[in-house]
Amino acid sequence: MLSRVFHNEDGKDSTQRIQPRGYLFSIVKYFGPFLLLAAGFFTFGARYFDTHILNLQSPRSGFLPCITVEPSGMNRLIKPPSSLSHNMSDEELFWIASFAPQVKKYPFNRVPKVAFMFLTRGPLPLFPLWEKFFKGNEGLYSIYVHSLPGYEPNYPKESVFYKRQIPSQVAEWGRMSICDAERRLLANALLDLSNEHFVLLSESCVPLYNFTIIYKYLQRSRFSFMGVFDDRGPHGRGRYNPNMAPLISLNQWRKGSQWFEVSRDIAIYIIQDTKYYAKFKEFCRPPCYVDEHYFPTMLHIEKSNLIANISLTFVDWSRGGAHPATFGKEDINEESMKKKLLSGWECMYNGQHSSLCVLFARKFAPSSLEPLLKLAPAVLGFG
């Protein structure tokens, strides 16, 4: 109860109680307009929030907020990244990419894709040939390019290579950094759940058949394709370091081509590995070339029943030397292509003898592009 003190006529103090109704009336009288204005703003704000924010999909609302609505539920998990650009470290990237569902039956319509992973220094001089190879097969492939840091590609927007660069680091031939680049390509490709097969290629590689033949060959195979053989000479067992024992023995040491094709399960195993990685990083240095021994040895020990022990990429070592032969403009003609690259092969495919043993070839110089484009429709089956 409020009160006030005043003086009586006889000079004595007295207390008079103030009625609450009169006091509230005074407050309303002075502050009423401000209260009404605040109430109006509150009502407007509540209705605006309900109509335009909470009810974004309401057909009555024409307001489109400047925000990005992320996919929800299964779509959030199965939709591939909209951009290959990210700021994850390798450690973070490999950790995320290593997740694998334990229930093997997919609860959605999954169309398996082939991830084509290009390990390059810079440009892809043969990309017009690859454009013709991919044309008309959208939804069945993905493309990933690892180039030297700082390289800025200039592909047109309509190109299948447009914005397909992944965050990269320096990769040195024969060093562990080259395997890091390969693992980086695998990890980025694994972020797309639809990628089932992973093909490692260089800027000098070309396809030897049309997309349909290559796609079906990979999809129907029960094995991954990587060379895993026991070279008892100085360039094989001669590169073994005894410090790798007891984890890796001399009898387990293997060699193979850098260029491979692996299934999703093998790709996940490769990026998960820390045990063999540490040994190779420390004890396999030139003249031990890690890109020729790390994956072949590791997979021979751990996953030999899933490896076909051949590479699908042809490389011509017949001219001798530390590097394979390069095919230039003068080497490209129908007769030589059919004789050297498209016939005379014999291998095992799913336990059966096959004459289709290589699907890609390298090294092709930039000068080979023009004759390859001319021969592609009749010899390679596309373009």
Distance CA 171, CA 184 (A): 11
Phi-psi region of 120 (alpha: psi -120 to 50; beta: other; left: phi over 0): beta
The pLDDT score that the predictor gives to residue 32 is: 52
Residues 292-324: pLDDT tens digits? Answer: 999 999 999 999 999 999 999 999 988 777 788
The pLDDT score that the predictor gives to residue 30 is: 52
Closest Cα to residue 197, out of 218, 212, 179?
Answer: 218
Mean of pLDDT values over 234-244: 97
Helix (H) or strand (E) holding 275: helix 275-283
Residues 357-377: pLDDT tens digits? Answer: 999 999 999 999 999 999 999
pTM for the whole structure: 0.81
Closest Cα to residue 303, out of 236, 363, 228?
Answer: 228
> Using alpha carbons only, how large is the chain's radius of gyration in Å?
34
The CATH number assigned to the domain with range 94-101+109-308 reads 3.90.550
Is residue 215 over pLDDT 70? yes
Read off the tokens for 92. Answer: 């973070």
Which residue would you say has higher pLDDT here, 64 or 98? Answer: 98
Intra-chain end-to-end CA distance of the chain, in Å: 95
Closest Cα to residue 163, out of 86, 76, 268?
Answer: 86
Closest Cα to residue 287, out of 225, 323, 236?
Answer: 236
Distance CA 255, CA 234 (A): 12
Lowest mean pLDDT among 28-42, 174-188, 341-355: 28-42
Strands 360-362 vs 313-315: parallel, antiparallel or unpaired:
parallel
Instruction: Break the chain into its structural domains and give their ranges.
Output: 94-101+109-308
Per-residue confidence at 71, pLDDT binned at 50, 70, 90? low
Residues 92-116: pLDDT tens digits? Answer: 999 999 998 889 888 889 999 999 9
Closest Cα to residue 91, out of 274, 269, 264, 281?
Answer: 274
How much of the chain exceeds pLDDT 90, in percent? 73
Which residue would you say has higher pLDDT here, 199 or 54? Answer: 199
Per-residue confidence at 85, pLDDT binned at 50, 70, 90? very high
Per-residue confidence at 53, pLDDT binned at 50, 70, 90? very low
